[in-house]
Amino acid sequence: MSSPEAKRLKPNSDNMSGPKAIYDAATSSNFELYKSDHAASISDISSYWSELANSKLDWYAPFPNAVSGSFEDGSVSWFAGGKINVCYNAVDRYCNAPYNRGGETAIIWEGDEPTDTKYITYLELQNNVCRVANALKASGVSKGDVVTLYMPMIPELTYTMLACARIGAVHSVIFAGFSADAIADRIEGAKSKWVVTASAGKRGGRDLPLKNICDAAVKKERCVGIVEKVFVFDGMVPNGSGWIEEDIHVRFSDLVDCQRPVCPCEWMDAEDPLFILYTSGSTGKPKGLVHTTGGYALYAMHTTAKSFGIAQQTGPSNGNAPVYACVADAGWITGHTYIVYGPLLNGISTFMFESTPMYPDCGRYWDMVQRHKISVFYTAPTAIRSLMRFGDEAPKKYDLSSLKVLGTVGEPINPAAWQWYYELIGNSKCAVVDTYWQTETGGHVITNLPGVTPMKPGSCTLPCYGIEVIVLDPVTGKEITETEAEGVLVIKQPWPGMARTCLGDHQRYLNVYMKPYPGYYFAGDGCRRDEHGFIWITGRVDDVLNVSGHRIGTAEVESALVAHPAVAQAAVVGIPHEIKGQGICCFTTLAEGFAESDELVKELRNAVRTHIGPFATPDMIIPTSALPMTRSGKIMRRILRKIAAGELDTLGDTSTLLDPSVVGTLSEKVEKLR
Ligand code: 6R9
């Protein structure tokens, strides 16, 4: 099978009719093997995962049992009693026999400027991580402490994450696009005494004043008395401006430089927390999901290998090691699992990219693929769509023949973007893996596997090994057994990478994930299963928006708006957006004494940017005198969604509205803004 046409399956071949099923290098025998391996993996999850945990990870003390506990009371644990250190497994073991990969590249870093690149070997990584670990220890950080990281995409971010893992501290990384308010919420929520930042970051030719934003957060009343030290990596910009104003600050680069490059690993229980990562939900403040040590490490390692067709590197490179690049930000779960932990646990080299796909021009990604001979490239549909707008010229200028696997993550990929990625970037020769997963799942849970399972543009296809995906009837909560199904997506059995709790609020964890459909993990997404059993994600079934692959709770945006004195009520809904997937549309009624004006709209937009961050900037803000309410006083968001999308012909029943004329008034306002 070599030409793209040959890869398209003929109707009825292998029982996979339909023009959209495409095999890459997959052969039907590999697909058959997947089916039997997958069935075996879910028929005995305990043996499946314990065998892998023993063969893929190095344990200081063995675990007695693989899995215990249940979804119902949120007591699932993996490999408990086993002792392990993730940093040891991701770094140290590769420097030693039998791997002997100390001289091999662990990190390829590319800064904001394309000429600014660094290659960091495993041995250098080990030394740097140990220095940071010693600097943290010397400052009083110890096992179990939460360390908040607010950093640019520089190698020091990876060093610090791994240094925390090494000494048993729990990192809580905050994406560098979040505002001071959002940082303060997370510091307060995690009672984090320690914060690591950098004097500045760079993105698209502009300086990001990270330390200043961090200082503003730390000075907020709710953080005073919590934060003891702010460690500042400096030297990112020359003469980082007057930053050492208070004794809370530690000039971290200096402290790190004078440390010894040797630091013993803290042997952790497999169920000790490894990190916290905050994510948005449908209600309340973002929740800090807690991932633990052994299970997360195994899941990150295993899914990286399987989903991207990568083998663990067990010896010195023979010149054809994969060059793996996930161009996400380490501040999101994608960066945690598929920039830092997954690749390094497999002993491969990982790419860290500080800049944007548009800098200095829209050919940046493809220029990097050519220069670094990248073989696995992993990005989000929103990035693909925004690059497609500039046409085919940019990618055609570069030699992309090193590529083998192209990945997408974050939202469903529309067929046009899939086709462009597959044909233009992958030259119709690469597998496109559509990886469905969440902050909560720790790693991929549904994806096609390169060379193993077929792809269908727009479908994330089939469950990963060890994952039992079920489609439930949302009303009855019953499993739909027919192959073709539409309903909510749940997972039936525990898997090692699942988050174990919401920090400080186990009840919330149970309420959100475990209670809606007892006995199952509820992902919050709707899906369709087609006639071949392939899964198509239809989107969130809760009030969570997906804007450029970023999860944003409508409740968070609403609370940012109502904090403004002019706003009486706010209702936020998603609108279809060509590039971002979803945009943010805000309807607000105004308090007494305030009038609608362009100035006010600007202020409200800024209020959201200040409370959350620029990535949550609303696309439309519509001040109004009334919202569509039911007679019992509930805002009808269903109607607002239709108005915002301009779908008045499918409004549905409006008879329960207190004042049906609101619909006409609001749609006129929306039309004017389009
Ligand atoms: C990894 C990540 C999770 C939500 C998830 C779903 C959406 C992610 C997807 C996808 C369709 C894919 N999502 N991957 N939808 N196809 N391949 O994005 O984590 O930020 O927690 O978001 O993103 O709605 O529930 P997170």
Mutating to test ligand 1, I would choose from 327, 432, 436 the residue with most ligand atoms within 8 A of its C-beta, which is 436
Say whether the peptide bond before residue 152 is cis (omega within 30 degrees of 0): no
Whether 525 is in the pocket of ligand 1, judged by its Cβ within 6 Å, is yes
Reported as a single tens digit per residue, the pLDDT across 342-376 is 999 999 999 999 999 999 999 999 999 999 999 99
- Atom number, ligand 1, closest to the C-alpha of residue 436: 17
Reported as a single tens digit per residue, the pLDDT across 115-149 is 999 999 999 999 999 999 999 999 999 999 999 99
The three-class DSSP label of residue 626 is: coil
**Whose C-alpha lies nearest to ligand 1, atom 10?**
411
Whether 279 is in the pocket of ligand 1, judged by its Cβ within 6 Å, is yes
| 58 Cα–ligand 1 center, Å | 31
**Whose C-alpha lies nearest to ligand 1, atom 15?**
411
Distance CA 407, CA 399 (A): 19
Structure tokens at 54: 């023993």
What ipTM does the predicted assembly reach? 1.00
| 79 Cα–ligand 1 center, Å | 27
Please choose, from the candidates 188, 194, 112, the residue with its C-alpha nearest in 3D space to the C-alpha of residue 154: 112
Mutating to test ligand 1, I would choose from 299, 409, 418 the residue with most ligand atoms within 8 A of its C-beta, which is 409
Region 20-34: what's the mean pLDDT? 77
Q: Which pLDDT does position 320 carry in this prediction?
A: 78
Region 581-587: what's the mean pLDDT? 96
Whether 215 is in the pocket of ligand 1, judged by its Cβ within 6 Å, is no
Whether 436 is in the pocket of ligand 1, judged by its Cβ within 6 Å, is yes
Quick one: what percent of the chain has pLDDT higher than 70? Answer: 95
Q: Is pLDDT at 9 greater than 50 in this prediction?
A: no
**Whose C-alpha lies nearest to ligand 1, atom 22?**
438
Mutating to test ligand 1, I would choose from 543, 546, 548 the residue with most ligand atoms within 8 A of its C-beta, which is 546
**Which of 98-107, 234-243, 650-659 has the least mean pLDDT?**
234-243
Reported as a single tens digit per residue, the pLDDT across 537-569 is 999 999 899 999 999 999 999 999 999 999 999
Mutating to test ligand 1, I would choose from 299, 437, 552 the residue with most ligand atoms within 8 A of its C-beta, which is 437
Whether 349 is in the pocket of ligand 1, judged by its Cβ within 6 Å, is no
Whether 334 is in the pocket of ligand 1, judged by its Cβ within 6 Å, is yes
Bridge partners, residue 201, by sequence: 208
Distance CA 599, CA 592 (A): 17
| 435 Cα–ligand 1 center, Å | 8
Confidence of residue 655 (pLDDT cuts 50, 70, 90): confident
- Atom number, ligand 1, closest to the C-alpha of residue 539: 24
| 334 Cα–ligand 1 center, Å | 10
| 550 Cα–ligand 1 center, Å | 9
Q: Which pLDDT does position 25 carry in this prediction?
A: 61
Reported as a single tens digit per residue, the pLDDT across 427-482 is 999 999 999 999 999 999 999 999 999 999 999 999 999 999 999 999 999 999 99
- Atom number, ligand 1, closest to the C-alpha of residue 408: 17
Distance CA 196, CA 252 (A): 9
Confidence of residue 10 (pLDDT cuts 50, 70, 90): very low
Q: Which pLDDT does position 242 carry in this prediction?
A: 53
Whether 303 is in the pocket of ligand 1, judged by its Cβ within 6 Å, is no
Q: Is pLDDT at 1 greater than 50 in this prediction?
A: no
Distance CA 639, CA 166 (A): 51
Long-range pairs for 214-220: beta carbons < 8 A, 24 or more residues apart: 214/150, 214/180, 214/183, 216/180, 217/150, 217/180, 217/181, 217/183, 217/184, 217/187, 218/184, 218/187, 218/248, 220/180, 220/181, 220/184
- Let me know how many helices (H) and strands (E) the chain has, helices first: 22, 30
| 504 Cα–ligand 1 center, Å | 24
| 539 Cα–ligand 1 center, Å | 9
Task: Determine phi and psi for 490, rounding to 5 degrees.
Answer: -135, 165
Average pLDDT, the chain: 92
**Whose C-alpha lies nearest to ligand 1, atom 26?**
438
Say whether the peptide bond before residue 98 is cis (omega within 30 degrees of 0): yes
Bridge partners, residue 547, by sequence: 550, 581
Structure tokens at 164: 């925390």
Quick one: what percent of the chain has pLDDT higher than 90? Answer: 86
Reported as a single tens digit per residue, the pLDDT across 246-280 is 678 898 999 999 999 999 999 999 999 999 999 98
How many angstroms separate the Cα of 481 from the Cα of each of 31, 41, 436, 643? 22, 20, 22, 36
Structure tokens at 279: 């994510």
Region 319-331: what's the mean pLDDT? 93
